[in-house]
Structure 1
Amino acid sequence: MLEHIQRNQQCPPERGLHLYEKYSDPPEFLAYRDFPERVAAAADFFREQGVGPGTRVLFPFETSTPVILAFLGLMEIGALPLSVKPLVMNTPREAYQEFLGRVARDFAAERVLEVPSLAPLDLPAPGLPLPPAGLRKPGARLRTPGDEELAFVQFSSGSTSFPKGVPVRQGALRANLEMITRTDGRTPEERVSSWLPLYHDMGLVGGMLSCFSIGCDLLLAEPVTFLFDARGWWEHMGRERAIGTVIPNFAVDYSLKLMQDLDPEDLAEMDLSTVRSIYLGSEPINLPNLGAFLDLMAPAGLRRDVFMPCYGMAEAVLLVASRPVGGEIRTVPSPSGLPSISVGRPMPEFTVRLRDEDGRPCAEGELGEIELSGGSLAAGYFDRGEPLGGADGFYATGDIGFLDDGELFVTGRISDRIKVGGQSYFAADFEQAVEQLPFVREGRSAVAQIGPDIIVLTEVDREAREDVEGSRAQIVDHLVHTVGVTVEAAHVHYLRPGQLPRTSSGKLQRRAIVRAYEQGELEGLTLTPGA
Structure 2
Amino acid sequence: MADTISMVPNLNQALAATPNDDALPRRLADFDTFCDALDYAAKGKRGFNFHDPRGTLKQVYPFSQLREDSITVAYALVARGVKPGDRVALIAETGPDFAALFCGAVYAGAWPVPLPLPTSFGGKDNYIEQLAVQLSSADPTMLVGPDEISTLTSAAAERQGCGHATWADFAAKDAAPCELPSPSPDDICYLQYSSGSTRFPHGVAVTHRSLMSNLAAHSHGMQVTEGDRCISWLPWYHDMGLVGCFLSLIANQVSGDYLKTEDFARRPLAWLDLITRNQGTSISYSPTFGYDICARRISTQTAVSERFDLSRWRLAGNGADMIRPDVMQNFVNAFADAGFKASAFLPSYGLAEATLAVTIMPPGEGICVELVEEERLSGSPRDLSRPARYRAIVNCGKPVKDMEVVIRGEKGQSLADHKIGKVWCRGTSVMHSYFRDPEATAECMVDGWLDTGDMGYMADGYLFIVGRAKDMIIINGKNHWPQDIEWAVEQLPGFNHGDIAAFSVETENGEEAPAVLVHCRVSDPDKRLELREQIRDKVRSITGMNCVVELVPPKSLPRTSSGKLSRAKAKKLYLSGEIEPFKLAA
1:494 maps to what in 2?
551
1:3 maps to what in 2?
36
Matched, 1:126 2:163: yes
1:354-433 equivalences under 5 Å are: 354-386=407-439, 387-388=441-442, 389-419=444-474, 424-433=479-488
- Kept in 1: contact 2:76–2:174 (CA 8 A): no
- Kept in 2: contact 1:6–1:141 (CA 8 A): no
Q: 1:179 to 1:110 in 2, by over 3 A?
A: same
Matched, 1:254 2:293: yes
1:290 maps to what in 2?
328
What is the SS of the residue equivalent to 2:438? coil
Q: How far apart, in 2, do the equivalents of 1:309 and 1:249 lie?
A: 10
2:109 maps to what in 1?
78
- Kept in 2: contact 1:433–1:478 (CA 8 A): yes
* TM-fit CA distance, 1:430: 2.1
1:163 maps to what in 2?
201
What is the SS of the residue equivalent to 1:324? coil
**Larger CA deviation: 432-441 vs 214-223:** 432-441
| Structure 1: runs of 5+ lacking an equivalent | none
- Kept in 1: contact 2:346–2:366 (CA 8 A): no
1:110-149 equivalences under 5 Å are: 110-121=141-152, 122=155, 123-124=157-158, 125-130=162-167, 132-133=170-171, 145-149=183-187
- Kept in 2: contact 1:154–1:168 (CA 8 A): yes
Q: How far apart, in 2, do the equivalents of 1:218 and 1:520 lie?
A: 44
Deviations 1:311-366, CA, capped at 9 Å, x for gaps: 11111111101112111422112324311001011224222222233444322212
Matched, 1:485 2:540: no
Letter in 1 for 2:461: G
1:455 maps to what in 2?
515
* TM-fit CA distance, 1:133: 4.3
Q: 1:187 aligns with which of 218, 221, 225?
A: 225
1:321 maps to what in 2?
359
What is the SS of the residue equivalent to 1:498? coil
Letter in 2 for 1:454: P
Q: 1:506 to 1:328 in 2, by over 3 A?
A: closer
Q: 1:392 to 1:237 in 2, by over 3 A?
A: same
Letter in 1 for 2:436: D
What is the SS of the residue equivalent to 1:456? strand
1:7-86 equivalences under 5 Å are: 7-12=40-45, 15-86=46-117
What is the SS of the residue equivalent to 1:112? strand
Q: 1:442 to 1:261 in 2, by over 3 A?
A: farther
Q: How far apart, in 1, do the equivalents of 2:305 and 2:489 lie?
A: 29
What is the SS of the residue equivalent to 1:109? coil
Deviations 1:288-321, CA, capped at 9 Å, x for gaps: 1211111111001011111111111111111101
Deviations 1:418-451, CA, capped at 9 Å, x for gaps: 3467654311122133223222244211112334
Q: Number of aligned pairs?
A: 523
Q: How far apart, in 2, do the equivalents of 1:459 and 1:243 lie?
A: 36
1:513 maps to what in 2?
570
Q: How far apart, in 1, do the equivalents of 2:88 and 2:461 lie?
A: 42
Q: How far apart, in 1, do the equivalents of 2:564 and 2:171 lie?
A: 35
Superposed CA RMSD = 2.8
**Larger CA deviation: 416-425 vs 336-345:** 416-425
Letter in 1 for 2:36: E
2:369 maps to what in 1?
331
Q: 1:154 to 1:251 in 2, by over 3 A?
A: same
* TM score, norm. by length of structure 2: 0.82
* TM-fit CA distance, 1:224: 0.9
Q: 1:114 to 1:271 in 2, by over 3 A?
A: closer
- Kept in 1: contact 2:349–2:359 (CA 8 A): yes
Letter in 1 for 2:321: E
Deviations 1:250-283, CA, capped at 9 Å, x for gaps: 11121122224352x2344301111011221111
Q: How far apart, in 1, do the equivalents of 2:61 and 2:203 lie?
A: 31
What is the SS of the residue equivalent to 1:10? coil
Q: How far apart, in 2, do the equivalents of 1:491 and 1:429 lie?
A: 15
Q: How far apart, in 2, do the equivalents of 1:332 and 1:159 lie?
A: 31
Q: How far apart, in 2, do the equivalents of 1:175 and 1:525 lie?
A: 50
**Larger CA deviation: 294-303 vs 332-341:** 332-341
Deviations 1:484-525, CA, capped at 9 Å, x for gaps: 31243x622211123212221123332232234345555652
Letter in 2 for 1:500: L
Q: How far apart, in 2, do the equivalents of 1:492 and 1:380 lie?
A: 40
Q: 1:444 aligns with which of 496, 499, 509?
A: 499
Q: How far apart, in 2, do the equivalents of 1:221 and 1:134 lie?
A: 26
Q: How far apart, in 2, do the equivalents of 1:500 and 1:244 lie?
A: 32
Q: How far apart, in 2, do the equivalents of 1:46 and 1:5 lie?
A: 18
Percent of residue pairs identical:
27
Letter in 2 for 1:300: A
What is the SS of the residue equivalent to 1:408? strand
Q: 2:400 aligns with which of 338, 344, 347?
A: 347
* TM score, norm. by length of structure 1: 0.90
